[in-house]
Amino acid sequence: MKILVKKGNLAEAKSQAIILTFFEDQKKLAGAALQIDQKSGGLISELIKNRDFEAKQSQVSVIYTRDLLPAKRIALLGLGKSAEADLDKIRGAFAKVMQHLRSINIKEAATSIDWKLIAETKEKIVQAVVEGALLGLYQYNPYKTVGREDIKEMEQLNIICEGKDFNLIEKEVKKTQIITGAVCFVRDLVSAPSNEMTPSILAKKAQGIGRKKGITCKVLDKARMKELGMNSFLSVASGSNEEPKFIILEYSGAKKSEAPIVLVGKGLTFDSGGISIKPADKMDEMKTDMSGGAAVMGAVMAASNLQLPLNIVGLIPATENMLGGTAYRPGDILKSYSGKTIEVINTDAEGRLILADALSYASKYKPAAIIDVATLTGACIVALGDDVIGMLGTDDKLKSEINRAAKATGELVWELPLWESYSELIKSDIADYKNSGGRAAGTITAAAFLSKFVGDFPWVHLDIAGPAWRAKDITYIPKGASGVTVRLLVEFLRNRVKK
């Protein structure tokens, strides 16, 4: 959908539907709403008086203007109680109204933004409105061939403003479109089925990003990884006929001498569990096991489009985890890229094996920080549910930066402890470590395992097993791939610039 910023007055806008926001506890109409109510002979106040519209969070009521206004319809949008309003409620409400208008075959709408909605900067409010609208309208339908003519699409949203805000809004809309574009790019990658999102195809997508200014993309093939000794990663790949790829995206937005931020993403294009095979139920969802890798690609892409003055590296080990005569086995001992040895207890604990080599590889950049993103453990869903990202790490400052970005973006993050004692659970009798510590504290022992392969750099691990894939629609995340952590990482990076 296109978003155009226009100078003018909403009451004068010729539009299919003008969107007006209201609070539940709002005593009287003000601003554009008051003007429109007066011009339309009290259309809005009548609805409110009769309590057809109570302005509950994300409530939508559409009324016809019957030529009393240039606009054909008014869409009243509820924002709930004013004291409880925040950026995420704004995102959710704008997603809802746009989805509603789309469902009644409207292709174009107009709104203006009330700066008094919440106590946030104008930039953040514009961002929330645009994110809500664009992320909420996302749909994935490249494989639908029957009934394509019924697919509805919103084409245009006009943001009408006073002249003095025009530049600010236009600039912020552009930035937000870069971010939502990256989120939707990631949703597309994750939604794609594993037969059409192999490691090679994922690598091609990364090379596509690499054609952008300031980014280079290198892809290490199997032979090169063998030379380098990435045996932990290669063992996971050994059961698959698809060649593994180690994707390296380097974005240079700052001086060469400046230490980069390294983002590492788990890129399992399909996780069958390997010899320790998963149950059939929901195995199809394991096409999403590259969500972390995709999110890293999206974040690097957005950072470059925003021209952030930072150096950023994205590392994405990409492979399938399959079974077969050449597959790795429980009991195998692997020599990782770092030289440390790993006893395989469970071939389904494969994410940590590929990340181990990628995290060790990150050391060569002498990074300012390392953040890895992975659909790593089912245990994280047990602990925190479907909505929440699990965070573990060794650096309090980096964790607080992530927490700050989480609050701004509404991507919920909760920290789990990573005390040294948990490392006892991943000690192997005959190798340095084992790849599974059993059921207890599964998310933590996975992170403890990763920590053994991170050099002496500030590091945070984000487990997105829950929120990467949504079983049902929630506010501005239509069911399916969420693109989670793209906005979180971009916000984190933008905050790094401001320092």
Cα dist from 34 to 2, 20, 57, 266, 429, whole Å: 28, 10, 21, 52, 74
Select the binding partner of residue 436 from Zn ion, Mn ion, ligand BES, none (C-beta < 5 to 8 A, by kind).
ligand BES
Distance CA 166, CA 406 (A): 29
Distance CA 269, CA 261 (A): 24
Q: What DSSP assignment string belongs to 217-260? A: EEEE-HHHHHHHT-HHHHHHHTT-SSPPEEEEEEEE-S-TTSPP
Report the amino acid identity of residue 467.
P
Distance CA 499, CA 201 (A): 37
Contact with Mn ion (CB under 5 A) among 320, 348, 401, 463: 348
Closest distance to Zn ion from the beta carbon of 290 (Å): 9
Residue 88 binds Mn ion, judged by CB under 5 A: no
Cβ–Cβ < 8 Å for 428, 420:
no
Residue 436 binds ligand BES, judged by CB under 6 A: yes
Site for Zn ion in 211-270 (CB under 5 A): 268
Tally Cβ neighbours within 10 Å of residue 197: 23
Tokens of 162: 């006073």
Report the amino acid identity of residue 23.
F
Closest distance to ligand BES from the beta carbon of 257 (Å): 38
Q: Identify which of 380, 402, 385, 405 has the alpha carbon closest to the alpha carbon of residue 393.
A: 402
Cβ–Cβ < 8 Å for 306, 283:
no
The mark string for 333-352 relative to ligand BES (x by CB under 6 A, - otherwise) is -------------x-xxxx-
Cβ–Cβ < 8 Å for 253, 285:
no
Region from 85-93, 195-203, 267-275, 305-313 binding Mn ion, contact rule CB under 5 A:
267-275
Region from 28-36, 158-166, 225-233, 376-384 binding ligand BES, contact rule CB under 6 A:
376-384
Residue nearest to ligand BES (CB): 378
Of the two residues 292 and 314, which places its CB atom closer to ligand BES in the complex?
A: 292
Region from 193-201, 225-233, 350-358, 363-371 binding Zn ion, contact rule CB under 5 A:
350-358
Region from 153-161, 257-265, 306-314, 347-355 binding Mn ion, contact rule CB under 5 A:
347-355
Of the two residues 289 and 411, which places its CB atom closer to ligand BES in the complex?
A: 289
Tally Cβ neighbours within 10 Å of residue 54: 14
Residue 298 binds Zn ion, judged by CB under 5 A: no
Cβ–Cβ < 8 Å for 487, 131:
yes
Give the residues across from 389 on adjacent strands.
413
Residue 271 binds Zn ion, judged by CB under 5 A: yes
Q: How many CA atoms lie within 13 A of 215 on its CB side?
A: 26
Q: How many CA atoms lie within 13 A of 340 on its CB side?
A: 20
Region from 167-175, 344-352, 361-369, 404-412 binding Mn ion, contact rule CB under 5 A:
344-352
Of the two residues 350 and 411, which places its CB atom closer to Mn ion in the complex?
A: 350
Region from 25-33, 50-58, 69-77, 349-357 binding Zn ion, contact rule CB under 5 A:
349-357
Contact with ligand BES (CB under 6 A) among 21, 112, 269, 375: 375
Contact with Mn ion (CB under 5 A) among 242, 271, 320, 372: 271
Residue listed under structure tokens 């003007």: 35
Select the binding partner of residue 465 from Zn ion, Mn ion, ligand BES, none (C-beta < 5 to 8 A, by kind).
ligand BES
Of the two residues 57 and 436, which places its CB atom closer to ligand BES in the complex?
A: 436
Considering the candidates 175, 245, 266, 352, report the single residue annotated as catalytic: 352
Contact with Zn ion (CB under 5 A) among 165, 172, 289, 357: 289
Closest distance to Zn ion from the beta carbon of 274 (Å): 10
Q: With the CA atoms of 138, 142, 145 and 146 taken in that order, what torsion angle do they form, in degrees rounded to the nearest 10?
A: -20
Identify whether 278 is a catalytic site residue: yes
Residue nearest to Zn ion (CB): 271
Considering the candidates 152, 278, 404, 496, report the single residue annotated as catalytic: 278
Residue 343 binds Mn ion, judged by CB under 5 A: no
Cβ–Cβ < 8 Å for 322, 299:
no
Which residues, 6+ apart, have CB-to-CB distance to 474 below 8 Å? 387
Of the two residues 365 and 469, which places its CB atom closer to ligand BES in the complex?
A: 469
Distance CA 197, CA 187 (A): 12
| Site residues, Zn ion (CB under 5 A) | 268, 271, 289, 351
Residues recognised as catalytic = 278, 352
| Site residues, Mn ion (CB under 5 A) | 271, 348, 350
| Site residues, ligand BES (CB under 6 A) | 271, 289, 346, 348-351, 375, 377-379, 436, 442, 465
